[in-house]
Amino acid sequence: MKNIWITGASSGIGRSLALKFANEGWQVAASARRDDLLNQLTKSNKNIKSFPLDVTERKSCESVFEKIKNTYEKIDICFFSTGTWDPKKEKDIDIDQMKKVMEVNFFGTLNCIKVVEKYFKENKSGHISIVSSIAGYRGLPNSTGYGASKAALNNLAESLYFDFGRHNVRVSLISPGFIKTPMTDKNEFKMPFLKTPEFAANKIYNGLVSGSSFEIDFPKELTLILKFLKILPDKIYFKLIKKLTKYQKL
């Protein structure tokens, strides 16, 4: 029987993925800050166990991973999907908000990666999967903190791909488009190609278990467009995004 550790498992993509893996017969170590939501999750499937965690606390990450190692014979996949986003605070340069976003999205993920580094490298097997976003592809309006945190994760994942690859450990990057979650519910604009968390969970499960690609991105209708935008010259990109977002110079 195989085992996976999922952070951000109390809602959204993390929760749906925990249920997907559990329903497929995997043992799931589910982590998030909210005990009540984790307890609801564990009650819904016997293959899921709760390991409450605030990823911004390095020592807590260490102690929780020790508990997980003591519970399961082997950890096959670590899926790190903790994230935060507040669009109302992204319209201006809010340094305190940006620090908070980076602390959760980037350094929270990095804390988790650090505590599993020795385990995976010594075992010379395993898989670390990092959840980023299409918002990390290029700069976008009103995304001063969130987009920057995701771009940092993209770069980090690429670097770790080489570093862990020397030890036969797979590193993958998850780049979701718009998925209906409590976090995206905060958006005040119409989200193109909006998908359900269950759709995301199925795509991720297949990519992690059956695929071998570095990046797992979806839905393709949106990510292919954004991948094309990545390669555009700056002048064309800026002009196009201004038009698409009804950008106004103040």
Q: Which of 170, 178, 176 is nearest to 210 (CA)?
A: 170
Q: Mean pLDDT throughout 158-163? A: 98
pLDDT of residue 189: 72
pLDDT at residue number 5 = 98
What is the per-residue burial (b if ≥16 Cβ within 10 Å, else e) of 139-151?
ebeebbbbbbbbb
Contact 184, 178 (CB under 8 A): yes
The SS3 assignment for 49 reads strand
Between 142 and 225, whose confidence is greater? 225
Q: Is 167 or 241 the better-scoring residue by pLDDT?
A: 167
Q: How far apart are CA 2 and CA 126, in angstroms?
A: 11
**146 tagged catalytic:** yes
Q: Is the model's pLDDT at 218 over the cut of 60?
A: yes
Most confident region among 77-86, 136-145, 151-160, 238-247 by mean pLDDT = 151-160
Q: Is 197:181 a contact under the CB 8 Å cutoff? A: yes
64-73 pLDDT tens trace: 999 999 999 8
C-beta of residue 116 within 8 angstroms of C-beta of residue 128:
yes
Copy the structure tokens of residue 78: 């670590």
pLDDT number for residue 176: 95
Q: Which residue has the tokens 């780049």?
A: 175
- Which pLDDT belongs to residue 94? 85
Question: Closest Cα partner for 149 from 86, 103, 184?
Answer: 103
Give percent above pLDDT 90 in the chain. Answer: 80
Residue 80 near residue 131, CB atoms below 8 Å: yes
Q: Which of 137, 146, 237, 247 is catalytic?
A: 146
Give residue-wise pLDDT tens across range 93-112.
889 989 999 999 999 999 99
pLDDT of residue 120: 98
Domains annotated on the chain, with CATH: 3-244 (3.40.50.720)
